[in-house]
Amino acid sequence: MSNQQQKPGVFASICRCLKGLFVRDKLSFLDEEALQTPFKTIAKNYFRNKLGIIGLIVFIACLLFSFVGSQFAPSTFTYFELTNGNLRPSTNYLNFPKDLDGNRVVKIVSGISFSFALMDDGQLVSWGTEPNIRQENVSDYVLAIPEEIRSKRIVDITTGGRHVLALDDEGELHGWGYYGHGQTTLPDDVRREMEASGASIDQIYAATMWSAIVTSDKNLHIWGSQQTIQNFKLTRAMRGHVVKVATGDNNMLLLLDDGSLAVIGDRSSEFHGNVPKELTEGSIAVVDIVACNRNALVLDANGDIYTWGSTMDGLTRVPAFDQDVRTIEAGYKHFNALLEDGSVVSWGANQLSQLDTPKDMPALTAIYADYFQNYGIDEDGSIYAWGNRGYILGSDEFGRDMLHRLIHGGRISLTVGAIAILIEVIIALFIGLTSGFFGKWVDHLLMRTTDVFSAIPFLPIAITLSYAVGSLLSEAQRLYLIMVVLGVLTWMPLARMIRAQLLVEREKDFVLAAKALGIRQQKIMWRHILPNVFNLVIVNITLGYASLLLYEAILSFLGFGVAQPTPSWGNMLTSAQNSAVIQYYWWRWFIPGLFVVLAALSSNLIGDALREAMDPRENER
């Protein structure tokens, strides 16, 4: 009977044991607190602090933005596009009106951030982003079509980088947009010459800094930036014989009435070299000519293509076509060819997605390309756009994407701060622990050394070192120098703090007991005392990290930190030294400054929250 009663007891014990392994009974509050590990207690206390949570979220967001974002953003620091300099934040360069009927479109032209469509009724439709910033003069604006032009019937239109020319059915030329070189207004001497000869405007052209017309008597007239147009010298054989023009910023390709080609402009450019001899002799029947900034493209009557100019971006490597070419178009650094079956072949630069044609694009009947935008129209009148859609956070003075530079700049700034704080902590731990534990002459020596380093002015020394040896170092070595300088010149306050804490800890009973047991001093210091001061170190790491981020920003802002073209949040703020940038180009200083503030503030919030979570007295309050 007793055995029968004992079996259920054994079985119940086994069940309770298994249950205890996998299911924990609900404990009282006091029992729960008693069983918590120190780490769990700190974590629990930390996440009670709302500001600490906000700081942690913001800091993690900064890390993800920089380190994960850099995997998706190109890191071509040396790439720049001066033509696209100082463009405001926008991504609507290609957002043409949805009700735009392609069957009624006669022509589409583009500037650096905007486009115009000329309709069959002579009206203009504009879209994109205003490239001009000047607020005091409305006539600088491009997208706002002047009222006097809305009432005209436009027969031709062209764009420069930031200005527009339009020709109405009465032969009157209209211009608006940026007029810094007078390129929007037909010069009086040209107007008088046309009146004397009875000629009218036949064709209009524009580039970034100048404008041009071809008159009915086949004369070419150019006006705008004197520095540029002084190279556009027409010979006697060219005057009165110009049929068509293809333009780059500093060069022109002329088709003359005898079928030959001529080049004028900057003779140092590749545009002037290697022109096929048969094209200059007129032995080839030329159908069409186009030009990008440094290259020319010619289509003859047999469908053959001739090209010359810069070898950059593969512009001179014409793809092999399996059918005849119907039309050729040129952007600023790329070419498009429309083939007989309506497909498009593109080649050249693709940093701004100029070559990324839509995958679902059907056969096209017409294509248009200008600067960095492309448009195609199919037989149903549907319009397709590809190319530069804009810059989410704007562009800097060199036309570089601010978003990409912020991503890679954050990676560098955050890394510099992390390595510098690591160097600082290693030095401070060694000095502080050694000084506080051994005391006597060791303490005096190390503390006087700390005083000497504290007397060194940080910014002057950092600037002097950077100026003295920075030019002799590579970009990577310069970054290492900044990390070392920041770490070596900022460890003193933390070392003093560790020493003071250690002086308190070494007099406690557990340390005296360890000494009594004969444990070596080094082991006592690293195994027993260090864990008790480590909380202090962790808190100061987060607070010091924020300071080092600001120091890096200051050094780079002053030009002695991370050097261009490598970005950092600090050197991106350098442009704020220019009053014009502060007044007109807010995104160039406000956005990098905002990221510096967010990273530093979030690090400080994390440090404050950790300090409260690790201090029982703070929790009791």
Average pLDDT over residues 493-501: 88
pLDDT at 502: 82
Q: How far is CA 158 from the centre of its chain?
A: 29
Instruction: State the sign of the Cα–Cα–Cα–Cα dihedral 467, 468, 474, 478.
Output: negative
pLDDT at 11: 61
Which of 592, 127, 597 shows the shortest CA–CA distance to 393?
592
Tokens of 169: 């059915």
Distance CA 247, CA 157 (A): 15
Going across the sheet that includes 383-387, the strands are: 364-370, 373-378, 383-387
**Angular region, 252: left φ>0, alpha ψ -120 to 50, beta rest:** beta
> Which one is predicted more confidently, 494 or 613?
494
Residue type, 602: S
Distance CA 553, CA 592 (A): 10
pLDDT at 14: 56
33 pLDDT above the threshold of 80: no
The H or E element spanning position 125 is strand 124-128
Average pLDDT over residues 214-242: 93
Q: With bands split at pLDDT 50, 70 and 90, how would you rate the model's confidence at 6?
A: very low
Average pLDDT over residues 274-278: 84
Which of 157, 164, 155 shows the shortest CA–CA distance to 185?
164
Look-up: residue for tokens 């040129």?
A: 330
∠361-365-370 over CA atoms, to 5°? Answer: 80
41 pLDDT above the threshold of 90: no
> Which one is predicted more confidently, 459 or 403?
403
Give per-residue pLDDT as tens, 109-131. Answer: 999 999 999 999 999 999 999 99
8 A C-beta contact, residue 220 and residue 242:
yes
Q: Which residues contact 355 (CB under 8 A, 6 or more apart)?
A: 334, 346, 347, 348
Strands 105-110 and 220-224: unpaired
8 A C-beta contact, residue 154 and residue 167:
yes
pLDDT at 25: 55
Average pLDDT over residues 378-388: 95
Q: What angle separates helix 440-455 from helix 492-505, to the nearest 10 degrees?
A: 160
Hey, is 440 helix, strand or coil? helix
* Cβ atoms < 10 Å from Cβ of 94: 22
154 pLDDT above the threshold of 50: yes
Which of 549, 553, 546 shows the shortest CA–CA distance to 602?
546
Look-up: residue for tokens 């060194």?
A: 456
521 pLDDT above the threshold of 50: yes
**Percent over 90 (pLDDT), the chain:** 51
The overall average pLDDT reported for the chain is 86
Least reliable range by pLDDT among 28-37, 511-520, 534-543: 28-37
N residues, the chain = 621
Hey, is 88 helix, strand or coil? coil
Q: What is the DSSP letter of 472?
A: G
Average pLDDT over residues 570-578: 84
**Percent over 70 (pLDDT), the chain:** 91
Give per-residue pLDDT as tens, 297-336. Answer: 999 988 889 999 999 999 999 998 888 999 999 999 999 9
8 A C-beta contact, residue 80 and residue 400:
yes
246 pLDDT above the threshold of 70: yes
Q: How far is CA 235 from the centre of its chain?
A: 44
Q: With bands split at pLDDT 50, 70 and 90, how would you rate the model's confidence at 21?
A: very low
Distance CA 249, CA 46 (A): 60
Q: Which residues contact 93 (CB under 8 A, 6 or more apart)?
A: 113, 114, 115, 128, 129, 373, 387, 388, 389, 390
Average pLDDT over residues 494-510: 82
Q: How far is CA 443 from the centre of its chain?
A: 50
8 A C-beta contact, residue 555 and residue 462:
yes
pLDDT at 401: 94
Average pLDDT over residues 524-551: 80
pLDDT at 28: 54
Give per-residue pLDDT as tens, 280-300. Answer: 888 888 999 999 999 999 999
Q: With bands split at pLDDT 50, 70 and 90, how would you rate the model's confidence at 618?
A: low
Least reliable range by pLDDT among 13-27, 139-153, 244-258: 13-27
SS (H, E, C) 510-560: HHHHHHHCCCCHHHHHHHHHHHHHHHHHHHHHHHHHHHHHHHHHHHHHCCC
Instruction: State the sign of the Cα–Cα–Cα–Cα dihedral 273, 274, 276, 277.
Output: positive
Distance CA 254, CA 268 (A): 18
416 pLDDT above the threshold of 60: yes
Q: With bands split at pLDDT 50, 70 and 90, how would you rate the model's confidence at 434?
A: confident
400 pLDDT above the threshold of 90: yes
> Which one is predicted more confidently, 216 or 134?
216
2 pLDDT above the threshold of 50: no
Q: Annotate 308-343 with DSSP letters as a single string.
A: EE--GGGTT-PPPPSS-EEEEEE-SSEEEEEETTS-
8 A C-beta contact, residue 549 and residue 603:
yes
Average pLDDT over residues 554-565: 78
493 pLDDT above the threshold of 50: yes
Give per-residue pLDDT as tens, 74-116. Answer: 878 888 899 999 999 999 999 999 999 999 999 999 999 999 9
